Structure 1
């Protein structure tokens, strides 16, 4: 699942991974939840990912909570040019710990790394927060594709390992 505030780039992140394209300009915000599938190879094994793109707006939270418990992995995004999206990460993590499986794989992503002139969140701040919660971290750009595939493959590998360990 992709999680994070509205406008952090979740849908663009997913489209970049799925189709190798960037949605430029303005577009309609995700309503509720949407999903896409993509087959990837993880350690020589073909794995079908079903990726759920959630609405970031508060009014859709109760809908998206229902999907947390079935998620094997969560990509939690914030926008490096938007301080409130970063400040809200702790609240997102609280929700995750309340509604998701205890062994869910989580990765923190600072998106829009291509917009260096508008940066308000330092990479070090993302790393520090990720360390505090014991989750991996990387900066990404849905626009340029920087680390997009790497993030999905890392989370898929983590979820696959976790799934095997749990006997699923």
Structure 2
């Protein structure tokens, strides 16, 4: 079981892993607010649109190891599409965000997923996030629609509210723990190889993640509103 350390005021502790996570989705779905809630436990009501690309970090403890999450946020507007290849390079996790009150932002998710899969490593860990559950009375995307899409595509899925801090921590921890477990399995394989006289090195190797359909979490992680 993963345990999230406070991580907001990072000291000079030894870092065991650095995982790059990218946030993607239409503009104004709350990507920057999700990032700011996770990285600094802050929410700004007068948030400005993100211009270009920025990233923030937070260090957590997962299974007694120190993991630095480096989370990249980009503007969802078309004109920033030129950043794609550099933006996705080295990413081992992705958060695909839509706004539950704007159907169009959910309808664009397959396009974002296609872009992600054409630029990122094909084994990247992906979570679909329906943000703004605090606006339940304006909901335009039924939870079941999103859950069905996530199951078809082999994605994790949660609904969040960056405003109320609902499920934001869980969403990041789901992705980070999955990546951590995969990396640890790789380390185990490498050490077994070395023990058997095969000097296998992990340096420069890609992290291999189970393919689509194999990363759906257990039921209690699948959903959704608190």
TM-score (norm 2): 0.71
Q: Counterpart of 2:41? A: 20
Residue in structure 1 matched with residue 88 of structure 2 by the alignment? 68
> Is residue 30–residue 54 contact of structure 1 (8 Å, CA) maintained in 2?
yes
Find the counterpart in structure 1 of residue 146 from structure 2. 126
Name the residue aligned to 1:160: 180
* Superposed structure 1 runs of 4+ greater than 6 Å apart: none
User: Does the Cα contact within 8 Å between 2:84 and 2:119 map onto a contact in 1?
Assistant: no
Structure possessing the higher radius of gyration over alpha carbons: 2
> Size of the alignment, in residue pairs?
167
- The CA RMSD measured in Å over matched residues stands at 1.3
2:53 paired residue among 24, 33, 56: 33
Superposed CA deviations along residues 41-91 of structure 1, whole A, max 9, x for unmatched, are 112221011110111111101213322131010011000001110000000
CA contact (8 A) 2:100 2:132 kept: yes
Does residue 5 (structure 1) correspond to residue 26 (structure 2)? The answer is: yes
Give the aligned partner of residue 109 of structure 1.
129
Q: Gaps (5+ residues) in structure 1?
A: none
* Among 91, 112, 121, the residue aligned to 2:111: 91
Which residue pairs with 1:44 in the alignment? 64
Q: Which has the higher contact order (CA 8 A, sep 6+)?
A: 1
**1:130 positional shift:** 0.3
Maintained 8 Å contact 1:12/1:142: yes
- TM-score of the superposed pair, with normalisation by structure 1: 0.94
